[in-house]
Copies of this chain bind each other. A is one copy, B any other.
Amino acid sequence: LSRLLRRLLSARRSLEICLFAFSSPQLGRAVQLLHRRGVRVRVVTDAQYMALNGSQIGLLRHAGIPVRHDQEDGFMHHKFAIVDKKMLITGSLNWTTQAIQNNRENVLIVEDAEYVKPFLAEFERIWEEYNPTNYTFF
C-alpha cells in the first residue's frame, strides 16, 4: 500500500483510474489530495460494484472528481491507473482493504510507452463510451 501510494502521489498533471472496485479509504484520500493539488483526475468504474460497502466513488464525486461507469451486465473488470500519461499501474489488485490486507495479489508498475499507450487508449475509449450523454434510459 505504501509503495502504491508513493507512485500515485507522484502525479503532477493527470491521473486516469479504471477500477472494478474502489473502497480503500487511504487510496481514496490520496486521489482526493491529488485532485485538490490540481491534478486532472478521471475515474471509470463498474456500475454494479460502485455501491459496495465503503465504496469511495460517492466521496470522489462529492469532491468534484468526474466518474463514469458502464451500463452493461458484464463487469468493467480492469484494475489500472495511469500517472501523468507515462506510468502504468496494473495487476490483479482492486483498491479495497480486503484485497490489500488479505488476498494474494500482484501490481505491475510499467513506464515503457509500448505498454502504457494501449492502456491509455483503452481508457479514452471507455471514457467516451461511458459518457452519460450516451446513456439509454428506455
A contacts with B: majority SS = mixed
Copies in the complex: 2
For window 108-135 of A, CB contacts with B under 8 Å fall at 108, 110, 115, 119, 122, 126
Name the contact of A92 in the complex, choosing from B20, B103, B126 (C-beta under 8 A): B20
Q: Is the CB of A103 within 8 A of B77?
A: yes
Spell out A's residues near B (CB within 8 Å).
20, 70, 72-80, 90-93, 98-99, 101-106, 108, 110, 115, 119, 122, 126
Supposing A20-B92, A92-B20, A92-B92 touch, asked if A122 and B106 sit within 8 A by C-beta, the answer is yes
Q: Using CB atoms, name the residue of chain B closest to A79.
A: B92
Name the contact of A77 in the complex, choosing from B101, B105, B110 (C-beta under 8 A): B105
Tell me, rounded to whole Å, the shortest Cβ–Cβ distance linking A55 to chain B. Answer: 19
